[in-house]
Structure 1
Amino acid sequence: MVKYNPELKAQIVHEYLSTTQSTNDLSKKYHIGKSQIARWIQRYRLTGSDVFKRRRHKWNFTADFKLNVINYYQTHEDSMAEVAARFDILPSQVSIWRSIFE
């Protein structure tokens, strides 16, 4: 079960981008942590509006994809969360793959 539906996520991001409301204001309004809202905004900015669509199947990542993610993380100044958002994966996946690679 998904904790927050995609429509709510899109609505909150849209409110943030189209008004002067801060993540703190939206956090209070919707009773959702401001760091969670900030992650949604970041993911939206990196990957666009499709980021909030529900996935219907489990993703299986190839070794090449994992190596590309690790290579990107090691050669760019982006944080682990930024890399995860760019590749539409969880930050913990980047961390686990990096540990296995090392």
Structure 2
Amino acid sequence: MSKYSEEFKLKIVKEHKETHIGAKSLQKKYGVYHSQIEQWIAQYKLNGKFTEPTRHFSGEFKLKVLNYQQEHHLSDPETALIFGITNQGTICAWRKKYITGGTEALFQKQGRRSKMQKKSLIPNKPREEWTKDEELAYLRMENDFLKKYLALVQEDDKKKQQQTKDREQSMLSEN
């Protein structure tokens, strides 16, 4: 359900078409952002109707949109108009996800995390009372954590070394 009714949007678009009043003037008259009015005008010109907001897009659809945009050298607003995406920033967010996380990032589920706590691997009793299975599960978890921590520390060290090298090279090239 959109914030503005279909009749209201149509009234503004028709007024623009008939009187050639700009979106900024219509913004002052109706109290709707001119960018929103421009989007309605473009949607109506292209489709003869207004696009309703969509909340969920599949990973395949996101990838299709980004590929189409790249192939046809389109801006985010142009691409959003063609694919009926009401928020132009959505495409920019998909692109950022794709650049940082690859194709897999586009297929990740969105939403809030569950408030239910996951079952802890650490038993809620003194360590002396742990069974062998409980102790083994804890030690595996601790080992995995330490491996991930060590990998992050090493990655951070590599970045710092690279930054130092880059600084040294830039200083040498300046001299």
Q: TM-score range by the shorter chain?
A: 0.7 to 0.9
Residue number in structure 2 paired with 1:91: 88
- What's the offset of the Cα at 1:94? 0.9
Stretch deviating more after TM superposition (18-27 or 66-75): 18-27
Provide the TM-score with structure 2 as the length reference: 0.49
Residue number in structure 2 paired with 1:64: 60
Cα distance change on mapping 1:97 and 1:2 into 2, 3 Å: same
User: 1:1-102, aligned counterparts within 5 Å?
Assistant: 2-49=2-49, 51-52=50-51, 54=52, 59-89=55-85, 90-102=87-99
Question: Cα deviations across residues 26-57 of structure 1 (Å, max 9, x unaligned)?
Answer: 222212222221121122223321x25x56xx
Aligned residues: CA RMSD: 2.2
Partner amino acid for 1:76? Answer: H
Cα distance in 1, alignment partners of residues 90 and 27 from structure 2: 26
Cα distance change on mapping 1:78 and 1:46 into 2, 3 Å: farther
Sequence identity percentage = 38
Cα distance in 2, alignment partners of residues 3 and 10 from structure 1: 14
Cα distance change on mapping 1:59 and 1:23 into 2, 3 Å: closer
- Asked if the contact 1:47–1:85 (Cα under 8 Å) also holds between the matched residues in 2, the reply is no
Provide the TM-score with structure 1 as the length reference: 0.77
- What's the offset of the Cα at 1:59? 4.8
Cα distance in 2, alignment partners of residues 82 and 97 from structure 1: 15
- Asked if the contact 1:84–1:91 (Cα under 8 Å) also holds between the matched residues in 2, the reply is yes
- Asked if the contact 1:66–1:97 (Cα under 8 Å) also holds between the matched residues in 2, the reply is yes
Q: How many matched pairs? A: 98
